[in-house]
Structure 1
Amino acid sequence: MTRDDAANASPKTIVFGSPTLSGSDIYIATASPCDVRPYHGQIVRVSTTNGAILQRWYTTGATGPDGGGIWGPGGVSISPNGRWVYTATGHAFPNAQNAPYAEHVVRLTADLTLDAANAPPLSTTIDVDFGATPLLFQTAACHPMLAAMQKTGRLYIYDSNTLADGTIYSFQIGRSTPAGNFIGLPAFDPVLNRIYLGNPVDSSSGIVRHGLVALSVQSDCSVAIAWNLPVGVNSAGQNPSISPIVANGVVYYADGIGSEVFAVDAQSGAQLWVTNNLPDADRVTGGIFTSPTVVNGQLFVAGADHKIHAYGL
């Protein structure tokens, strides 16, 4: 049986992240609804011209074990020149959870041929998925870099040119929890050379608090915490990290089950406003589980209350 059969079809194999357009092709990544087997994480390259499937790449190989889901909300990442496809993968079954390319950060060619991969050293934590879309970023003084969030609460940073050699920095931002809620996609501000990400729960050491975290990329290409704003719900439960966005010097951060959106000064980390200070009719209820969007001077927020809320900026 091939992996195009009914055992691999929806609802067991589903698309979690956004399709990624590159040239005339779309890349689609698959996972499952909460590890319901059988499923096979894969990336599919599809032509927008005629809808044909051009190539597939399977996390665990064409005849490998179940698992290897690609859960990142942004789908895959494409290098600016369109040459490289980057992804980060979840665990495989039953025992060798990071084999062959499960729990890895991976670089593929545009036609989905494997070029490089790396798995950070295994920890004692079970299920150390990268529930993330790799963030590609670069400053004027530095080489192309990549950041990926792992369920252990660590953020891993790579030189994307030397991916197979391993990480160049890593930070214990959040806490390893059974829910594995340190997932998602950071935002990068090329003006300030900063990375912004959400942290659902205080770290075990208490050094990094829940809320919004800003990392500064230094002139020597090292990365350090610039500020940490403890806002929203501090929860080790089902409160995933919602990807923030940055626009015109302001970071917008949605706090999942807290149903709040915070506007934060990107430079100082000072809170500018929060939606829960608005009249009741303008508040979101039921949770916010997608990133806010800024378009033409307005902030759009999709809530679990089945409404799209628009705020003037």
Structure 2
Amino acid sequence: MPVCARTLAVVAIVVGGACSGASTPLFPSHAATAHRPRHAAQVDVYSETVLHDSPTAYYRLDDSGNTAADDSGNGLNGTVGGSVKEGAPGLLLTSSDTAMSFPGQASAAGTILVPSNSLLQPTSAVSLEAWLRFPSVPVNYTVPVAYGSDASYAPYDFYFSSGKLSAQFDLNTGVLVVTSPSSLQPNITYYAVSTFDGATARLYLNGVQVASVAKSGTIVNYQPKYGLAIGDDAGLSDPAFLGTADEVAVYAGSALSAAQVQSHYNAGTNPSATPPPTPTPPPPGVDWTTMGYDLARSGYNPNEKTIGIGSFGAFHKIWQKAIGGEIGEPALASNVLRGSQAVNILYAGGFDTGKLYALNAASGATLWSKRLATANYHCGSHTYRFGPAGAPVIDRATNRVYVPDGAARVHAFDLATGVEASGWPITIAAPANHNFIYGGLTYNPANGMLYAETSSTCDISPWYGRIVAISTANATIVGTFYPTQGQSGGGIWGFGGASVDASTNNVFILTGNADTSHGQMQNAYYAEQVVELSADVNTVIANNYPGLPQGAGDEDFGATPLLFTPPGCGPLLAAMNKSGMFFLYNRNAIGAGPTQAIQMSITTDNGDFVGVPAYDPLTNLVYVEQPATFGIYRPGVAAFSIRSDCTINPMPFWAAHFGADGSQSQSDTLRSPITVANGVLYISDYQTAQTFAFNAMTGSQLWTQPLSGYGVVGPIVVNGKLYVGSWGTYLTAWSP
């Protein structure tokens, strides 16, 4: 199709590889040569359009020297081989920048090589994008762009066969290939984009879909030696590309839509095109400031009106972002002013990567990010990196988000810019040693108190669990409570950290066991107890050891208390214990012991019966995750009604069965924290890596989707969107 003086055609492709001989990987070292000032530094419509859609890696290929710069902001730079010609005429009609031409030489000298990186290794979805031009028909299996070695099928790539362009994915269910219906012609510029969304591969030419193939599966065959390559596959095992490449981008975890592909094509070919506007969130916005939505850790969002029981027929993924091993729930601040624009911002930390991300909640684009401190610990036969695990918390009065890091410190960042407040971070445990902030932070806006709790790293002795009260006005620690009173042990492990009674500002925690390696009892001092503290945590208001079943070893509270007040009842507290016991307390009489104790699960020292129950005041039901078969209880989630005497009816009002069974497994079989909003209950399963939606009144299943890793992160629902993370790679947004 002629456009101005240049003939162009566009291809959007899902990546894959072709079979050929083995080879030896070769990644040249990065030399110190600096690249020249780049045309990419100039503002142009095409680059703005691409960056608007949050590529994981973006190479404009207008560099000089030996570095191909990644303009995505992720720092995934590549090494330019010595035989690659820089300064070739660019392939866009809307930009004056240059491109690179490749010699058709299957060597490091004839390619651009980007080292292997987990950010470029999606499993559920990916898009690959490139502009290509060649002087003659490429020989069969020529690869212009690939991730990984194609000696035994690259995870994703482009390749040519009989003049046609193919995109191929190596899936756990078999190789998936989608191919253009006709041959591509020499001396014509082609825009190529491929997408795979977990179920369908699509190929586009000139902004128009030309082929698709349906096949479900996850992308596999990532190898640590092989990263991204331009000009051949990373293993140099296929015929190399002879021609020009420009504007190469990878969208890991995201399948570009047809509208996005068309928008990119227009931006590269139409000089009058304008970049898409940044989406403006619909007012009024609702915040999700803390784990479990509120200080009581109810898990109930009363303000959600968009997603309801009838929403799941059209439910679809709107974006996916590689975060890197979440544990804590994300937090969301609505209508944050960035310049003159109000943006809803989602804050999420990567446990494995050590990074905090501030994301545009509508698009998933990274607005700012911070690399936080991490610590490495040897647990059993493995060494793990501990990064930000506890859920962040938002302070709208000071425009801050508070976040823990892997070195037992708490940071205070500006919501809009990420600039750290003066006097922060604050060290909670010095030195951190085996003390780690695992639970979510808690902020009480009524008195400006911020609470952080520590537990251990794999029960490595010694550790000194504690809860610390921080005055955010002065950036100082005003109180510290040690459950084991200075002796080793007593961590606070719950996903929600501490709960706060808004009527008294008193703080409630559930504590872990004392360190028995020093001859202490497991429940020494305030270990394995329900504890009520003053707002500055310096005074114990009440405490109780409920008497736990013995025999399995480590029967502590790995949980956060739920505070709730059903109609006709006084204030109550519900707690889950690893022994399988569910305890109910009169919140005004903690010291008197539980008013009810129900064995709901097996007794085990695995992290099974942990977390926090949820409560919906409209259904007047308490929701409890169920990790194992025990008596009348089955793995999944159950709802419990409240009797006239303000106790829980032990017979479930309804029960939904799903996921692994702790009575049949030696591994942890916990479920995620629960969210309830607008008649729908949301929960994820740890071991089977799935997320679910159920009718909160009847228990009927409405929706389910696989996750990229363990389902430990509580889903959150706010402003008409569902955000689901996992202890895997991705945070995903869904909407009707």
User: TM-score by structure 1 length?
Assistant: 0.91
2:469 counterpart residue number: 45
Larger Rg: 2
- In the alignment, the residues of structure 1 paired with residue 590 and residue 529 of structure 2 have an alpha-carbon distance, to the nearest angstrom, of 11
The amino acid across from 1:302 in the alignment is G
2:444 counterpart residue number: 22
2:704 counterpart residue number: 274
1:291 counterpart residue number: 714
Query: SS at the partner of 1:164?
Result: helix
The amino acid across from 1:74 in the alignment is G
Match of 1:184 among 611, 615, 623: 611
Match of 2:497 among 75, 89, 99: 75
Moved more, 126-135 or 175-184: 175-184
1:131 counterpart residue number: 558
Is 1:31 equivalent to 2:455 in the alignment?
yes
Alignment check: 8 A CA contact 1:25 1:48 kept: yes
Moved more, 300-309 or 45-54: 300-309
- In the alignment, the residues of structure 1 paired with residue 567 and residue 550 of structure 2 have an alpha-carbon distance, to the nearest angstrom, of 38
Deviations 1:194-216 (A, max 9, x none): 1112112111x3x1001011111
Identity of aligned residues (%): 38
- In the alignment, the residues of structure 2 paired with residue 37 and residue 47 of structure 1 have an alpha-carbon distance, to the nearest angstrom, of 30
- In the alignment, the residues of structure 1 paired with residue 476 and residue 429 of structure 2 have an alpha-carbon distance, to the nearest angstrom, of 21
Alignment check: 8 A CA contact 2:714 2:724 kept: yes
Moved more, 121-130 or 35-44: 121-130
> Where in structure 2 are there 5+ consecutive unaligned residues?
1-426
**Structural RMSD (CA):** 1.7
Alignment check: 8 A CA contact 1:7 1:39 kept: no
1:247 counterpart residue number: 677
The amino acid across from 1:69 in the alignment is G
Alignment check: 8 A CA contact 1:47 1:54 kept: yes
- In the alignment, the residues of structure 2 paired with residue 6 and residue 186 of structure 1 have an alpha-carbon distance, to the nearest angstrom, of 28
Map 1:51-70 → 2, pairs under 5 A = 51-61=475-485, 63=486, 65-70=487-492
Deviations 1:90-110 (A, max 9, x none): 100223110110000000111
The amino acid across from 2:681 in the alignment is V
Map 1:1-313 → 2, pairs under 5 A = 9-23=431-445, 24-61=448-485, 63=486, 65-94=487-516, 95-112=520-537, 113-125=539-551, 126-203=553-630, 205=631, 207-224=632-649, 225-235=652-662, 236=665, 237-275=667-705, 283-313=706-736
Alignment check: 8 A CA contact 1:86 1:105 kept: yes
CA-CA distance at 1:160 after TM superposition: 0.6
Deviations 1:246-273 (A, max 9, x none): 1111110100121111111111111112
The amino acid across from 1:247 in the alignment is A
Which one scores higher on RCO, CA 8 angstroms, separation ≥ 6? 2
User: TM-score by structure 2 length?
Assistant: 0.39
- In the alignment, the residues of structure 2 paired with residue 188 and residue 6 of structure 1 have an alpha-carbon distance, to the nearest angstrom, of 31
Deviations 1:183-229 (A, max 9, x none): 011111011111112112111x3x10010111112233121121211
Q: CA 1:60/1:304 → structure 2, altered by over 3 Å: closer, same or farther?
A: closer
- In the alignment, the residues of structure 2 paired with residue 133 and residue 7 of structure 1 have an alpha-carbon distance, to the nearest angstrom, of 21
The amino acid across from 1:174 in the alignment is S
- In the alignment, the residues of structure 1 paired with residue 594 and residue 671 of structure 2 have an alpha-carbon distance, to the nearest angstrom, of 22
Q: Report runs of 4+ in structure 1 exceeding 6 Å deviation.
A: none
The amino acid across from 2:618 in the alignment is V
- In the alignment, the residues of structure 2 paired with residue 122 and residue 265 of structure 1 have an alpha-carbon distance, to the nearest angstrom, of 34
Alignment check: 8 A CA contact 2:579 2:605 kept: no
Alignment check: 8 A CA contact 1:174 1:210 kept: no
The amino acid across from 1:170 in the alignment is A
- In the alignment, the residues of structure 2 paired with residue 6 and residue 45 of structure 1 have an alpha-carbon distance, to the nearest angstrom, of 10
Q: CA 1:9/1:197 → structure 2, altered by over 3 Å: closer, same or farther?
A: farther
Moved more, 212-221 or 97-106: 212-221
Alignment check: 8 A CA contact 2:562 2:573 kept: yes
Alignment check: 8 A CA contact 1:284 1:309 kept: no
CA-CA distance at 1:8 after TM superposition: 5.7
- In the alignment, the residues of structure 2 paired with residue 7 and residue 77 of structure 1 have an alpha-carbon distance, to the nearest angstrom, of 21
The amino acid across from 2:440 in the alignment is S
CA-CA distance at 1:6 after TM superposition: 11
- In the alignment, the residues of structure 1 paired with residue 716 and residue 509 of structure 2 have an alpha-carbon distance, to the nearest angstrom, of 23
The amino acid across from 1:87 in the alignment is I
The amino acid across from 2:435 in the alignment is T
Alignment check: 8 A CA contact 1:70 1:88 kept: yes
